[in-house]
A and B are shown apart, each in its own frame.
Chain A
């Protein structure tokens, strides 16, 4: 979806940056959103980095943008459990076309691939 939406927005998304968690991804607010999403992906423990990432995002884009980014985090904390909890998978034909993207995101060997 990231590659697809970037393509339609004439944006060359840097998937390697997304995968590594470092860089600006090639889109506006990319570095701030990547840092925020990385910190928010873990739901336990030290809040220091999450607090800093949130402040950085708010400083660049404002509180409303941060709230919407937090909502997307929430959605994918939810959808990942829905997908893996119900054994969701893609049709084989769809996967074949996506293999280069899957490899760049480091997802080819994920245990949740089925």
Chain B
């Protein structure tokens, strides 16, 4: 099966980056979190939203490289994102730190995107990459501010772009990876305002039909 080179390259880059050091998590930690996200989204009978994996005997590795709270957070984002609340976020932020939490969401997003594409297209799943040693960059943008349109902090000025566009700006590496994926999987950002844009395969209404149905079934109001 032929996969567009730009799409294949964007997904391969994002997937490989799961194994390397991130901004707030090491490579081994990112891999551990990715495994939990993959477990969550591929479970035929996932844990209920109110049951944290860390409270179930034998569910987490005996020697976890990340805290039980981080596993719980990525499991909830991966399996039950539509059920999240501001109160839940505030609790997780207090435990992980808000920027580390944004990276956790980014890992869940990458795992979901690549796993969904492989499954939908009838292609074999990719193995989670091997971890790469190294320290997280801890790179923090100097101009972080609270936003009205997101729970998470964003780079200034807040709320002058769509909430999803500013959502990951506090962790630029995740922001860049996610939007590189979106450009290849959906529509290049600069073309978003063109209702007639197409790659020559699906028309814009056809793309939006798929987008709307998936979002509806995932109960995502946004």
Residue ranges of A at the interface with B (Cβ–Cβ < 8 Å): 1-2, 4-9, 11, 13, 18-19, 21, 25, 27-30, 33-34, 36-38, 40-45, 47, 50-51, 54, 63-91, 105-107, 110-114
Q: Which of A18, A44, A81 contacts B216 (CB 8 A)?
A: A18
- Beta-carbon nearest neighbor of B3 in chain A: A67
Residue ranges of B at the interface with A (Cβ–Cβ < 8 Å): 1-4, 7, 11, 41-44, 46, 77-78, 81-84, 86, 89, 102, 105-106, 108-110, 112-117, 119-122, 149-152, 159, 162-164, 167-168, 178, 181-182, 184-186, 195-196, 199, 201-222
CB of B7 within 8 A of CB of A71, answer yes
Q: Which of A4, A64, A114 contacts B86 (CB 8 A)?
A: A114
A5, A9, A42, A105 interface centre (most CB from chain B within 10 Å): A5
Q: Which of B2, B77, B120, B164 contacts A70 (CB 8 A)?
A: B120
Q: Which of A2, A84, A85 contacts B211 (CB 8 A)?
A: A2
CB of B168 within 8 A of CB of A29, answer no
CB of A5 within 8 A of CB of B205, answer yes
* Chain A to chain B: the 3 pairs with minimum beta-carbon distance, closest first: A87-B151, A8-B195, A88-B163
Q: Which of A7, A73, A112, A114 contacts B219 (CB 8 A)?
A: A112
Q: Distance in Å from the Cβ of B29 to the closest Cβ of chain A?
A: 18
The answer for the CA separation of A28 and B209 in the assembled complex, in Å, is: 11
Q: List 8 A-B contacts (CB under 8 A).
A: A1-B212, A33-B202, A63-B2, A67-B1, A72-B210, A77-B214, A80-B218, A85-B108
A4, A44, A71 interface centre (most CB from chain B within 10 Å): A71
CB of A37 within 8 A of CB of B213, answer yes
The answer for the CA separation of A68 and B204 in the assembled complex, in Å, is: 12
CB of A2 within 8 A of CB of B182, answer no
The interface residues of chain A lying within 8 Å CB-to-CB of B106 are 82
CB of A81 within 8 A of CB of B209, answer no
The interface residues of chain B lying within 8 Å CB-to-CB of A77 are 41, 112-113, 115-116, 214, 218
Q: Taking A40-B116, A80-B81, A107-B216 as contacts, is the C-beta distance between A86 and B221 under 8 angstroms? A: no
Q: Distance in Å from the Cβ of A82 to the closest Cβ of chain B?
A: 5
- Beta-carbon nearest neighbor of A69 in chain B: B210
The answer for the CA separation of A40 and B137 in the assembled complex, in Å, is: 36
CB of A72 within 8 A of CB of B202, answer yes
The interface residues of chain A lying within 8 Å CB-to-CB of B7 are 67, 71
Q: Which of A27, A73, A110 contacts B117 (CB 8 A)?
A: A73
Q: Which of B1, B159, B209, B221 contacts A114 (CB 8 A)?
A: B221
